[in-house]
Homo-oligomer: A and B are copies of this chain.
Amino acid sequence: MHIFYRTELEKAARRMILIHRTDTLIKLIIRTITRDLKVLHAGIFLFDKQKQNYVLTASRGKQGVKVPPGLVKISNDSPLIKYFFSRTYNLWKDNFLLAKRTRIVLKRDSVKKNTKLKNFFERLLYQVSIYKIDIALPIAFRGELLGIFILGEKRNKNNFYPEELTFLSILSSDVAMAIRNATLFDDLRVQLEKNQTLFFQTISAFAHVIEAKDKYTLGHTERVAEYSLNIAIQIKKIIRIKNWEEFKKNLKIAALLHDIGKIGIPEKVLNKRKPLNDNDWTFIRAHPLIGENILSPLKDLKEVILAVKYHHERYDGKGYPYGLEGKRIPLMAAIIFVADAYDSMISDRPYRKALSRTEAKKEIEKNSGLQFNPKVVTAFIQAYTARRV
Protein backbone atom coordinates (compact mmCIF):
# COMPACT_ATOMS: atom_id res chain seq x y z
CA MET A 1 0.00 0.00 0.00
CA HIS A 2 2.77 2.46 0.78
CA ILE A 3 4.26 1.53 -2.58
CA PHE A 4 1.34 3.28 -4.20
CA TYR A 5 1.85 6.70 -2.62
CA ARG A 6 5.51 6.36 -3.33
CA THR A 7 5.09 6.22 -7.09
CA GLU A 8 2.49 8.97 -6.84
CA LEU A 9 4.88 11.14 -4.90
CA GLU A 10 7.72 10.29 -7.23
CA LYS A 11 5.63 11.49 -10.12
CA ALA A 12 4.78 14.66 -8.25
CA ALA A 13 8.44 15.23 -7.46
CA ARG A 14 9.21 14.84 -11.12
CA ARG A 15 6.53 17.24 -12.22
CA MET A 16 7.87 19.82 -9.77
CA ILE A 17 10.77 20.55 -12.04
CA LEU A 18 8.55 22.22 -14.52
CA ILE A 19 6.97 24.53 -11.99
CA HIS A 20 8.99 27.65 -12.24
CA ARG A 21 7.29 29.77 -9.62
CA THR A 22 8.66 28.97 -6.20
CA ASP A 23 5.40 29.66 -4.34
CA THR A 24 3.26 27.43 -6.58
CA LEU A 25 5.87 24.73 -6.31
CA ILE A 26 5.94 24.79 -2.52
CA LYS A 27 2.16 24.63 -2.27
CA LEU A 28 1.99 21.66 -4.62
CA ILE A 29 4.57 19.76 -2.60
CA ILE A 30 2.81 20.35 0.68
CA ARG A 31 -0.57 19.39 -0.75
CA THR A 32 0.79 16.13 -2.17
CA ILE A 33 2.61 15.28 1.05
CA THR A 34 -0.34 15.81 3.37
CA ARG A 35 -2.68 13.90 1.07
CA ASP A 36 -0.47 10.92 0.31
CA LEU A 37 1.47 10.49 3.52
CA LYS A 38 -1.67 11.05 5.62
CA VAL A 39 -0.03 13.32 8.14
CA LEU A 40 -1.93 15.78 10.35
CA HIS A 41 -0.06 18.73 8.88
CA ALA A 42 3.02 19.64 6.89
CA GLY A 43 4.88 22.84 6.10
CA ILE A 44 7.97 24.30 4.52
CA PHE A 45 10.22 26.96 5.95
CA LEU A 46 12.09 28.74 3.16
CA PHE A 47 15.13 30.94 3.50
CA ASP A 48 14.29 34.56 2.78
CA LYS A 49 17.30 36.44 1.45
CA GLN A 50 15.92 39.88 2.29
CA LYS A 51 14.88 39.01 5.83
CA GLN A 52 17.86 36.68 6.37
CA ASN A 53 15.75 34.11 8.17
CA TYR A 54 13.54 31.11 7.48
CA VAL A 55 9.88 31.87 6.85
CA LEU A 56 7.06 29.33 6.97
CA THR A 57 6.02 29.77 3.34
CA ALA A 58 3.43 27.04 2.99
CA SER A 59 1.60 24.86 5.44
CA ARG A 60 -1.40 22.59 5.26
CA GLY A 61 -3.39 20.42 7.63
CA LYS A 62 -6.35 20.38 9.97
CA GLN A 63 -7.58 23.68 11.36
CA GLY A 64 -6.02 24.17 14.78
CA VAL A 65 -3.25 21.69 14.01
CA LYS A 66 -1.53 23.35 11.09
CA VAL A 67 0.77 26.26 11.70
CA PRO A 68 -0.45 29.41 9.94
CA PRO A 69 2.03 30.37 7.20
CA GLY A 70 3.54 33.76 6.49
CA LEU A 71 3.78 34.98 10.07
CA VAL A 72 6.15 32.41 11.50
CA LYS A 73 9.85 32.88 10.95
CA ILE A 74 12.87 31.35 12.62
CA SER A 75 16.31 32.84 12.72
CA ASN A 76 19.59 31.43 11.49
CA ASP A 77 20.76 30.59 14.99
CA SER A 78 17.64 28.89 16.28
CA PRO A 79 18.17 25.23 17.29
CA LEU A 80 15.97 23.92 14.47
CA ILE A 81 18.33 25.44 11.92
CA LYS A 82 21.56 24.79 13.81
CA TYR A 83 20.67 21.12 14.13
CA PHE A 84 21.14 20.56 10.42
CA PHE A 85 24.35 22.53 10.19
CA SER A 86 26.19 21.17 13.19
CA ARG A 87 28.13 17.94 13.52
CA THR A 88 28.00 18.44 17.30
CA TYR A 89 24.27 18.62 17.70
CA ASN A 90 23.19 16.18 14.99
CA LEU A 91 24.30 13.15 16.98
CA TRP A 92 23.05 10.68 14.37
CA LYS A 93 24.77 12.34 11.44
CA ASP A 94 21.76 11.62 9.28
CA ASN A 95 19.36 13.54 7.17
CA PHE A 96 16.39 14.11 9.45
CA LEU A 97 15.26 15.26 12.81
CA LEU A 98 12.95 12.77 14.55
CA ALA A 99 11.10 14.29 17.48
CA LYS A 100 10.72 11.00 19.33
CA ARG A 101 14.39 10.12 19.07
CA THR A 102 15.36 13.58 20.23
CA ARG A 103 13.18 13.34 23.34
CA ILE A 104 14.99 10.17 24.40
CA VAL A 105 18.38 11.84 24.00
CA LEU A 106 17.73 14.10 26.95
CA LYS A 107 17.73 11.04 29.16
CA ARG A 108 21.25 10.03 28.11
CA ASP A 109 23.85 10.55 30.82
CA SER A 110 26.35 12.04 28.33
CA VAL A 111 23.82 14.70 27.46
CA LYS A 112 22.63 15.36 31.00
CA LYS A 113 26.22 16.09 32.04
CA ASN A 114 26.93 18.35 29.09
CA THR A 115 25.19 21.67 29.91
CA LYS A 116 25.64 23.06 26.45
CA LEU A 117 24.21 19.99 24.79
CA LYS A 118 21.37 19.68 27.31
CA ASN A 119 20.51 23.30 26.79
CA PHE A 120 20.51 22.92 23.05
CA PHE A 121 18.20 19.91 23.05
CA GLU A 122 15.79 21.51 25.49
CA ARG A 123 15.47 24.53 23.26
CA LEU A 124 15.22 22.32 20.18
CA LEU A 125 12.40 20.28 21.74
CA TYR A 126 10.62 23.49 22.64
CA GLN A 127 10.62 24.52 18.97
CA VAL A 128 9.62 21.01 17.95
CA SER A 129 6.62 21.21 20.25
CA ILE A 130 5.47 24.68 19.14
CA TYR A 131 5.40 23.63 15.50
CA LYS A 132 4.07 20.14 16.39
CA ILE A 133 6.90 18.53 14.47
CA ASP A 134 7.18 14.77 14.22
CA ILE A 135 9.88 14.81 11.52
CA ALA A 136 11.88 17.65 10.02
CA LEU A 137 14.13 17.35 6.99
CA PRO A 138 16.64 19.74 5.52
CA ILE A 139 16.08 21.08 2.01
CA ALA A 140 19.70 21.54 1.07
CA PHE A 141 21.55 22.14 -2.13
CA ARG A 142 25.35 22.09 -2.36
CA GLY A 143 25.82 22.81 1.31
CA GLU A 144 23.25 25.58 1.34
CA LEU A 145 20.18 25.13 3.55
CA LEU A 146 17.40 26.46 1.31
CA GLY A 147 14.69 25.43 3.73
CA ILE A 148 13.22 22.90 6.14
CA PHE A 149 10.39 20.45 5.69
CA ILE A 150 8.25 19.88 8.74
CA LEU A 151 5.78 17.03 9.10
CA GLY A 152 3.28 16.42 11.90
CA GLU A 153 2.19 13.03 13.18
CA LYS A 154 0.48 10.53 10.92
CA ARG A 155 -3.27 10.56 11.28
CA ASN A 156 -3.23 6.96 12.53
CA LYS A 157 -0.45 7.84 15.05
CA ASN A 158 1.88 5.17 13.59
CA ASN A 159 5.59 5.75 13.26
CA PHE A 160 7.05 6.43 9.84
CA TYR A 161 8.50 3.35 8.11
CA PRO A 162 12.27 3.43 7.52
CA GLU A 163 11.45 3.20 3.82
CA GLU A 164 9.31 6.31 4.15
CA LEU A 165 12.15 8.15 5.82
CA THR A 166 14.55 7.26 3.02
CA PHE A 167 11.96 8.32 0.53
CA LEU A 168 11.39 11.64 2.31
CA SER A 169 15.13 12.31 2.23
CA ILE A 170 15.21 11.75 -1.50
CA LEU A 171 12.11 13.88 -1.90
CA SER A 172 13.77 16.70 0.07
CA SER A 173 16.74 16.68 -2.21
CA ASP A 174 14.41 16.71 -5.23
CA VAL A 175 12.55 19.61 -3.68
CA ALA A 176 15.84 21.40 -3.10
CA MET A 177 16.70 21.11 -6.75
CA ALA A 178 13.25 22.14 -7.87
CA ILE A 179 13.44 25.20 -5.61
CA ARG A 180 16.89 26.05 -6.91
CA ASN A 181 15.62 25.67 -10.46
CA ALA A 182 12.57 27.84 -9.80
CA THR A 183 14.76 30.47 -8.17
CA LEU A 184 17.00 30.61 -11.22
CA PHE A 185 13.90 31.06 -13.38
CA ASP A 186 12.59 33.76 -11.07
CA ASP A 187 15.94 35.55 -11.34
CA LEU A 188 15.91 35.40 -15.14
CA ARG A 189 12.33 36.63 -15.22
CA VAL A 190 13.10 39.51 -12.88
CA GLN A 191 16.05 40.47 -15.06
CA LEU A 192 13.85 40.31 -18.15
CA GLU A 193 11.28 42.59 -16.51
CA LYS A 194 13.99 44.99 -15.38
CA ASN A 195 15.38 45.19 -18.90
CA GLN A 196 11.91 45.77 -20.27
CA THR A 197 11.32 48.59 -17.82
CA LEU A 198 14.70 50.15 -18.55
CA PHE A 199 13.95 50.02 -22.28
CA PHE A 200 10.63 51.82 -21.90
CA GLN A 201 12.11 54.36 -19.49
CA THR A 202 14.88 55.04 -21.97
CA ILE A 203 12.63 55.65 -24.93
CA SER A 204 10.32 57.75 -22.75
CA ALA A 205 13.32 59.85 -21.74
CA PHE A 206 14.17 60.43 -25.39
CA ALA A 207 10.53 61.19 -26.18
CA HIS A 208 10.61 63.90 -23.51
CA VAL A 209 13.62 65.46 -25.18
CA ILE A 210 11.65 65.73 -28.41
CA GLU A 211 8.67 67.19 -26.59
CA ALA A 212 10.91 69.83 -25.09
CA LYS A 213 12.21 70.77 -28.55
CA ASP A 214 8.77 70.84 -30.11
CA LYS A 215 7.08 73.09 -27.50
CA TYR A 216 4.46 70.41 -27.07
CA THR A 217 2.67 70.38 -23.77
CA LEU A 218 4.49 68.22 -21.30
CA GLY A 219 3.42 64.59 -21.34
CA HIS A 220 2.06 64.61 -24.89
CA THR A 221 3.97 61.47 -25.84
CA GLU A 222 2.84 59.53 -22.78
CA ARG A 223 -0.76 60.55 -23.39
CA VAL A 224 -0.59 59.46 -27.04
CA ALA A 225 0.72 56.09 -25.85
CA GLU A 226 -2.15 55.80 -23.37
CA TYR A 227 -4.86 56.79 -25.89
CA SER A 228 -3.38 54.43 -28.50
CA LEU A 229 -3.50 51.51 -26.11
CA ASN A 230 -7.10 52.21 -25.14
CA ILE A 231 -8.11 52.47 -28.79
CA ALA A 232 -6.34 49.18 -29.50
CA ILE A 233 -8.22 47.44 -26.68
CA GLN A 234 -11.51 48.48 -28.29
CA ILE A 235 -10.47 47.74 -31.85
CA LYS A 236 -9.50 44.21 -30.85
CA LYS A 237 -13.23 43.59 -30.38
CA ILE A 238 -13.97 44.36 -34.04
CA ILE A 239 -10.73 43.30 -35.80
CA ARG A 240 -8.75 40.10 -35.28
CA ILE A 241 -5.27 41.07 -34.14
CA LYS A 242 -2.56 38.45 -34.47
CA ASN A 243 -0.23 38.15 -31.49
CA TRP A 244 -1.96 40.68 -29.27
CA GLU A 245 0.74 40.92 -26.60
CA GLU A 246 3.36 41.69 -29.24
CA PHE A 247 1.03 44.20 -30.90
CA LYS A 248 0.42 46.04 -27.62
CA LYS A 249 4.12 46.20 -26.83
CA ASN A 250 5.03 47.48 -30.29
CA LEU A 251 2.17 49.99 -30.27
CA LYS A 252 3.45 51.43 -27.01
CA ILE A 253 6.99 51.72 -28.37
CA ALA A 254 5.73 53.28 -31.62
CA ALA A 255 3.52 55.76 -29.79
CA LEU A 256 6.41 56.83 -27.57
CA LEU A 257 8.69 57.24 -30.58
CA HIS A 258 6.22 58.55 -33.18
CA ASP A 259 7.73 62.03 -33.28
CA ILE A 260 11.39 61.03 -32.93
CA GLY A 261 11.99 62.33 -36.47
CA LYS A 262 11.22 65.87 -35.30
CA ILE A 263 14.77 65.90 -34.01
CA GLY A 264 15.74 66.40 -37.66
CA ILE A 265 13.59 69.49 -38.10
CA PRO A 266 15.55 72.73 -37.61
CA GLU A 267 14.71 74.48 -34.34
CA LYS A 268 13.83 77.68 -36.13
CA VAL A 269 11.04 75.80 -37.96
CA LEU A 270 9.76 74.05 -34.84
CA ASN A 271 9.72 77.29 -32.86
CA LYS A 272 8.26 79.53 -35.56
CA ARG A 273 5.37 81.71 -34.41
CA LYS A 274 4.52 82.93 -37.89
CA PRO A 275 2.67 80.67 -40.38
CA LEU A 276 4.93 78.06 -41.94
CA ASN A 277 6.14 78.57 -45.52
CA ASP A 278 6.57 75.87 -48.17
CA ASN A 279 10.15 75.29 -47.17
CA ASP A 280 9.15 74.77 -43.52
CA TRP A 281 6.48 72.32 -44.60
CA THR A 282 9.02 70.27 -46.51
CA PHE A 283 10.77 69.70 -43.18
CA ILE A 284 7.57 68.94 -41.29
CA ARG A 285 6.46 66.45 -43.92
CA ALA A 286 9.81 64.70 -43.70
CA HIS A 287 9.68 63.94 -39.97
CA PRO A 288 8.06 60.48 -40.30
CA LEU A 289 10.81 59.51 -42.74
CA ILE A 290 13.54 60.94 -40.54
CA GLY A 291 12.00 58.86 -37.73
CA GLU A 292 12.09 55.76 -39.92
CA ASN A 293 15.69 56.46 -40.76
CA ILE A 294 16.75 56.90 -37.13
CA LEU A 295 15.09 53.66 -36.10
CA SER A 296 16.10 51.64 -39.17
CA PRO A 297 18.96 49.76 -37.41
CA LEU A 298 16.44 48.23 -34.98
CA LYS A 299 15.75 45.07 -36.96
CA ASP A 300 13.41 43.65 -34.32
CA LEU A 301 11.12 46.68 -34.50
CA LYS A 302 9.92 46.45 -38.11
CA GLU A 303 6.28 46.99 -37.16
CA VAL A 304 7.19 49.96 -34.96
CA ILE A 305 9.18 51.58 -37.74
CA LEU A 306 6.26 51.28 -40.17
CA ALA A 307 3.92 52.88 -37.64
CA VAL A 308 6.34 55.80 -37.20
CA LYS A 309 6.77 56.13 -40.95
CA TYR A 310 3.04 56.27 -41.70
CA HIS A 311 1.55 58.02 -38.68
CA HIS A 312 0.60 61.09 -40.75
CA GLU A 313 -1.02 59.25 -43.66
CA ARG A 314 -4.72 60.06 -44.06
CA TYR A 315 -7.40 57.46 -44.83
CA ASP A 316 -8.41 59.42 -47.94
CA GLY A 317 -4.84 59.42 -49.24
CA LYS A 318 -4.25 63.13 -48.65
CA GLY A 319 -1.72 62.66 -45.86
CA TYR A 320 2.08 62.70 -45.90
CA PRO A 321 4.79 61.68 -46.71
CA TYR A 322 3.42 59.18 -49.28
CA GLY A 323 -0.30 59.81 -49.64
CA LEU A 324 -0.91 56.14 -48.74
CA GLU A 325 -4.62 55.29 -48.67
CA GLY A 326 -7.23 53.36 -46.65
CA LYS A 327 -6.28 49.87 -45.59
CA ARG A 328 -2.79 50.21 -46.99
CA ILE A 329 -1.96 52.34 -43.95
CA PRO A 330 -0.80 49.98 -41.16
CA LEU A 331 -3.35 49.75 -38.32
CA MET A 332 -0.79 50.82 -35.75
CA ALA A 333 -0.06 54.01 -37.67
CA ALA A 334 -3.79 54.72 -38.06
CA ILE A 335 -4.32 54.32 -34.30
CA ILE A 336 -1.45 56.64 -33.38
CA PHE A 337 -2.69 59.19 -35.93
CA VAL A 338 -6.05 59.49 -34.12
CA ALA A 339 -4.50 59.50 -30.65
CA ASP A 340 -1.98 62.15 -31.71
CA ALA A 341 -4.64 64.33 -33.35
CA TYR A 342 -6.89 64.10 -30.30
CA ASP A 343 -4.16 65.12 -27.87
CA SER A 344 -3.08 67.98 -30.13
CA MET A 345 -6.66 69.29 -30.38
CA ILE A 346 -7.23 69.34 -26.63
CA SER A 347 -3.87 71.09 -25.95
CA ASP A 348 -3.14 74.81 -26.24
CA ARG A 349 -0.79 75.73 -29.08
CA PRO A 350 1.08 79.00 -29.66
CA TYR A 351 -1.28 79.78 -32.57
CA ARG A 352 -4.64 78.54 -31.16
CA LYS A 353 -6.55 77.69 -27.99
CA ALA A 354 -7.35 74.09 -27.06
CA LEU A 355 -10.67 72.54 -28.07
CA SER A 356 -12.86 70.99 -25.38
CA ARG A 357 -12.85 67.19 -25.21
CA THR A 358 -16.38 67.06 -26.62
CA GLU A 359 -15.48 69.36 -29.51
CA ALA A 360 -12.35 67.31 -30.25
CA LYS A 361 -14.30 64.04 -30.29
CA LYS A 362 -16.87 65.59 -32.68
CA GLU A 363 -14.04 66.74 -34.92
CA ILE A 364 -12.60 63.24 -35.03
CA GLU A 365 -15.99 61.64 -35.79
CA LYS A 366 -16.58 64.21 -38.54
CA ASN A 367 -13.29 63.15 -40.14
CA SER A 368 -14.02 59.42 -40.02
CA GLY A 369 -13.31 57.98 -43.47
CA LEU A 370 -11.62 61.22 -44.54
CA GLN A 371 -8.66 61.90 -42.31
CA PHE A 372 -9.09 58.82 -40.12
CA ASN A 373 -9.69 55.08 -40.50
CA PRO A 374 -13.41 54.60 -39.61
CA LYS A 375 -12.78 51.49 -37.51
CA VAL A 376 -10.20 53.34 -35.47
CA VAL A 377 -12.65 56.20 -34.96
CA THR A 378 -15.32 53.74 -33.81
CA ALA A 379 -12.87 52.20 -31.35
CA PHE A 380 -11.77 55.64 -30.16
CA ILE A 381 -15.36 56.75 -29.51
CA GLN A 382 -16.01 53.43 -27.78
CA ALA A 383 -13.00 54.01 -25.54
CA TYR A 384 -13.76 57.61 -24.74
CA THR A 385 -17.54 57.80 -24.45
CA ALA A 386 -19.03 58.57 -21.06
CA ARG A 387 -15.56 58.71 -19.61
CA ARG A 388 -13.44 61.62 -18.63
CA VAL A 389 -10.12 61.52 -20.44
A20-B184, A185-B188, A267-B267 in contact; A201/B298 too (CB < 8 A)?
yes
A175 to B204, CA, bound (A): 45
- Closest B residue by C-beta to A299: B201
- Known contacts A202-B298, A294-B209, A297-B204: does B173 contact A14 (CB below 8 Å)? yes
A247 and B195 CA atoms in complex are apart in Å by 16
A199-236 CB contact bits vs B (8 Å, 1 = yes)? 10111111011001100000000000000000000000
Interface size on A, residues (CB 8 A): 46
Assuming the contacts A205-B297, A294-B208, A301-B198, asked whether A17 and B181 have C-beta atoms less than 8 A apart, the reply is: yes
A263 interface residue (CB < 8 Å to B): yes
**Cβ of A4 to closest chain B Cβ, rounded Å:** 16
A18 touching B199, Cβ below 8 Å? no
A264 to B295, CA, bound (A): 21
Q: Are A201 and B297 in contact (CB under 8 A)?
A: yes
Q: Which residue of B20, B173, B174, B188 is within 8 Å of A189 (Cβ)?
A: B188
Residue numbers in B under 8 Å from A241 (CB-CB): none
- In the assembled complex, which residues on chain B have CB atoms less than 8 Å from the CB atom of A65? none
B20 touches A17 (CB 8 A): no
Interface residues of A in 257-290 (CB under 8 A from B): 260, 263-264, 266-268
A11 CB → nearest B CB, Å: 9
Chain B proximity of A373: nearest CB distance (Å): 28
Given A192-B191, A301-B198: A14 touches B294 (CB 8 Å cut-off): no
Expressed in whole angstroms, the Cα–Cα distance for A18 and B184 within the complex equals 9
Q: Which residues of B contact A295 (CB under 8 A)?
A: 205
Question: Once bound together, how far apart are the Cα atoms of A173 and B10, in whole Å?
Answer: 12
Q: Which residue of B lies closest to A197 (CB)?
A: B300
A264 to chain B, nearest CB (A): 8
> In the complex, which residues 156-190 of chain A have their Cβ closer than 8 Å to any Cβ of chain B?
173-174, 177-178, 180-181, 184-185, 188-189
For A14, the chain B residues whose CB sits under 8 A away are 173-174, 177
Q: Does the CB pair B263–A209 fall under 8 Å? A: yes
Question: Which residues of the other chain, B, contact A192 by a CB distance below 8 angstroms?
Answer: 188, 191-192, 195
- For the complex, is A194 an interface residue (Cβ under 8 Å from B)? yes
Docked Cα-Cα span, A189 to B192, in Å, equals 9
